[in-house]
Chains A and B, each alone.
Chain A
Amino acid sequence: MSGVQSSSVPPGAQEYGGDEISALVLDPGYSSVRAGFAGEDVPKSVVPSHYGTIGPLDSPEVKYIFGDNSIHTPLPNLHIHNPMSKDGTVEDWDTATKLWEYAITSRLTNFKASNPAMNGLNDPPENGGNVEADIEASGEGEKPLEDNPLLMTETGWNSGKSRERSIEVAMENWGCPAFWLARNGVCVAFAGGKASALVVDVGVMRSPLAGNFISQQLRILFSTSNPQIPLIPHYLVASKTPVDAGAPAVATYRQFDTSIHDSFRRLEEERVLQEFKESVVQVWQGPGRLNSGQQGTTNEEVVKSWPGRPFEMPDGWNQVFGGERFRVSEGMWDAKMALTDPENPAPPQSQTIPALIQASLAAVDVDIRPHLLANVVITGGTSLLYGFTDRLNSELTQMFPGPRVRLSAPGNTAERRFASWIGGSILGSLGAFHQMWVSKKEYEEHGAGIVEKRCK
């Protein structure tokens, strides 16, 4: 999209119905906040939703730390929080507003080329708090988004109250000339080039299965395996020496004068698990489930005979993972196969991915079910697990042998992760969309309730 625009010739009307008005698209989620200009193909600013605070939360001298560069530094008294709840709705509006503002202004609008010391990019990692000052500096006098209409995405189950809150933030705090709230499911469908589609979003949010489910399964796997697999995040390791597979790690650990808060350690552990998910975890690609199979052997046994995948922990401990790497993802498809411990019971069978798809199809009119099955759009970072789409395809064709099942899963990881932002970007740059915006004038006339009336 931006590539097309770089030419001096504007695109012909028939080939591209776009008209860019430098609108901004903001797509907040549990794991990250995506922000960028409408009409571009990837978000320019992707900021983790986790943020750090230093100092007591209620006092005015509390220091907020945003951004990938800053929050991973082990600082004393650093607490890690997330303003979003796990189902993708905002819990802490005040900080969420600050976080989003950071995501937009750090990279998109208030980029001050004249003062590189102040733009947040060249901050030394030790004191990531400078950004705060930056925001405050641009704070009162002028509002950060006065020139840019803002398109925000929301989950389909967002409450009316928080929808009104979001237009208030956009209009009052940021001074947007126009605003729109789009459902991220719809945006994903648009990103896939479909007007209506069955969206399978396996991110971090909402379902007990999505996202963190795999992390949780991994934690259970590590703690139950014999001997236990140590989960040491990077920041604790000062140096390491290579050891044989399965042998205990030989490493020197870093000592901190002040205690590091558990929330920080949790965040760092998640990063290690993330790496593990990306490099080791695999989904049994079908046909059938992991514990079923032909000729007396289960697929699980078949999988065990396949070559394993090695993984080295930050402290040097390493192991080759065989069948386990399939096992941790199987709970998404078959609740009985989920690893459990007392704190984490197995998810209900009705919450597995096939059951969820079946339920959502049963909820719509029978006439469009074949159409939806022919347009299944897959998104979310967890869907990038190796073998995921194959498995989903085999499960769907098994469930619905009659109609044609067609999955649309972009191979590009960015497109898979940021599909809802991309859909918003497409929507916000369409010429025909500009009649839809809720303008500041309308907001002033009708109040925040207008978002309920207009954006539905």
Chain B
Amino acid sequence: MTSADVRDMLDLPQDGHPRAPPAKKQKTAEKRPEGITRELFALLGERAPPVAISDHVKYKGRPKWTHKTQPWEMAPFTNPARTDGLVLHHWQKKIDPKPAPVATPAETSGSSGENQETNPSNASSSYYFAKYNVTVTVPEYTDSEYETYLQHEDWTKEETDYLIDLCKEYGLRWVVIVDRYDFQSSSKVEQVDEATTALVTEPKVRTMEVLKARYYGIARKMMEVKTPVPSMAKAEFELYEKTKFNASQEATRKDMAKALLSRSTSDLQEEEILLTEIRRILNTQDKLLEERKELYARLESPQNTGAHSRMYDTSQGLNQLIQILVASDKGKKRRSIVGLNGSIDMGSSPAIGSSGQNISVGSYMRDGKDTPRDSVGGPSGSVKKGSAPAHSERRKLTAQEERIYGVTHHDRLTSGVQFRNDRVLKLVQAKSNIQAQRVQSALAQLEIPAKLVMPTARVCAEYERLVQNIHILLDIRKVYEKIESEIKVLQAQKEERERRERLERGEPEPETEENTKVDTAMDVDGAEGGRTITGQVKEVKEEKEEEANTGIGGGDAAGSLSATASARPSSGGGHKRSASVMSAVSEKSSKRQKK
């Protein structure tokens, strides 16, 4: 194989020509730079560092002054911001009259010296600092405008003028205005002069709020007069909106500011403590919420909905899978199942146990709550309790320990994870809407929150029991009401019949006394009726139990329900006061919850 063939294969050009330019470049790079001796360059070797070496250091030379020193002169200038033409003097560069003066900021204070001497006012029209002569614009009004728009019972025109003048003078710096406000009405002064009595009229003390209210009132009014509100431009309207001034609100604000300023050290400390407390609470709340969110998100993540794996979720499915695998394995010559085993069963040596057992390991199963604990305990993967004789040597937890660790045993488990809280909520919401509302109102009466504060297993169980009891109670109540109404109807019928019989017998109507007697009898009857009702309730309950037993067919849950329901008549002192008993029970349970 020649090099040409290789080149052909690698799609390289046929000959070495393209390589020539780099070589050339290298040559130029190796060229000895100027100012370095050949011997020294030889010492540097082939790859000289990329440092520019020069034999002479260039110092910065003397600056070459191309122009003469600039003469400065004490030049007069006037300030256009002044009206009296005061001429002051300052130093500035003397500019030759020949070239056109360059208007730099430093020179704008006065142009050429020659011009200035002849005509200083003209030259200094561009005095740099004159532009800082700014004044505020205050509302202006004529006498007639004042008469029509700005009358105020507390203000004379004279005093208003004085206020506006002050505002202009001090640029609306209200602190200063209030300090300098010292209005003396000329008429009053005259009066005082004339009157020989020592009566001196007390000058009105105007607070800042009063002054501001008056000023902004005037400004607002004059803006309205100038341009009606609807036809105002946007900027103008914004300004107009700003002239709203609420004196009383401002006064209250200042009072509050005063109070804020005069807080004592202990107040401050308390405030600080409260603030840190709030911050802490908010932080923990945020953290809690975040954690909860994260937890929910983790639960709600797609639960491997693939149809293939769903099939093998249960132990039966797994068994099935193993059967299939084993069957297919048998069909093959090689014993690949061992390798498969190893890959599936993490941490256990493939030799231990039958392959079937290992594959049924619950590490893939999400349904058993106790599985993780088991898997921790087990030396080789985890196997359902009791199902693997290999792990019989593992320590059995006592009943108490199981309670402490929250280990529970289930015959069957629903797939997926759920919160106890959710389960509890489901309990409440399961029935019809009206029923659910009733249950909730009953819970509210018992002051048990709809969402349990601390849904431990025991509390949940108690809660479940409570809700079931409430259901029963509600059922009983319903039946009771039904029977009561029936009794009433029957009684009414009976009375009617008796009356008719009496009428047929021709007996007169019983007197009113008898009526009252009947009423009392009715009362007694009512009491007795209550008893009878309880009896009936018992019956009803038994019926219900039968129904439940027959209907559900001895399901465990139903069984426990019936157990509690049947336990009740024996434990409770009769159903007459079932509601109060219920509340007693629920109180207990709520106490437990609190614990």
Interface residues of A (CB under 8 A from B): 8, 10, 12-13, 17, 19-22, 147, 149, 177-178, 364-370, 398, 400-403, 430-432, 434-435, 437, 439-442, 456
Contact = CB atoms under 8 A, between A and B. Distances in A.
A90 to B, nearest CB: 24
Interface in B100-125: 105-106, 109
B178 interface: yes
B129 A431 contact: yes
A13 B109 CA distance: 11
A13 B130 CA distance: 13
B264 interface: yes
A365 B79 contact: no
Nearest to A433: B129
Contact of A434 (B79, B105, B254, B268): B79
B213 to A, nearest CB: 15
B70 interface: yes
B84 interface: yes
Interface residues of B, number: 38
Interface of B: 70, 79, 81-82, 84-93, 105-106, 109, 128-130, 132-133, 174-175, 178-180, 208, 254, 257-258, 260-265, 268
13 contacts: A13-B106, A21-B90, A149-B88, A178-B86, A365-B254, A402-B261, A431-B128, A434-B82, A435-B129, A437-B88, A440-B86, A442-B84, A456-B180
Contacts of A400: 261
B261 A434 contact: no
Contacts of B254: 365-367
Contact of B70 (A8, A368, A370, A437): A8
A365 B174 contact: yes
Chain B interface mostly: mixed
B84 A439 contact: yes
Nearest to A363: B179
A435 B90 contact: no
Contacts of A437: 86, 88
A131 B174 CA distance: 50
Given A178-B86, A402-B268, A439-B86, A366 B132 contact: no
Contacts of A365: 174-175, 178, 208, 254
A432 B131 CA distance: 8
Nearest to A22: B89
Given A364-B175, A367-B254, A402-B260, A441 B85 contact: yes
A-B pairs, 5 with minimum CB distance: A431-B129, A435-B81, A439-B86, A432-B132, A21-B88
A22, A401, A437 — which one has the most chain B CB atoms within 10 A of its CB?
A: A401
Contacts of B261: 366, 369-370, 400, 402-403
A13, A20, A402 — which one has the most chain B CB atoms within 10 A of its CB?
A: A402
Contact of A19 (B129, B258, B264, B268): B129
A12, A17, A367 — which one has the most chain B CB atoms within 10 A of its CB?
A: A367
A149 B262 CA distance: 46
Given A366-B254, A366-B258, A177 B88 contact: yes
A430 B92 CA distance: 16
Nearest to B69: A8
A19 B90 contact: yes
Contacts of A401: 263-265, 268
A199 to B, nearest CB: 15
Contacts of B264: 401
A440 B263 CA distance: 53
A456 B265 CA distance: 39
B79 A435 contact: yes
A432 B129 contact: yes
Contacts of B180: 456
Contacts of B90: 19-22
B377 to A, nearest CB: 61
Nearest to B76: A21
A13 B126 CA distance: 14
Contacts of A367: 175, 254, 257
Contacts of A369: 261
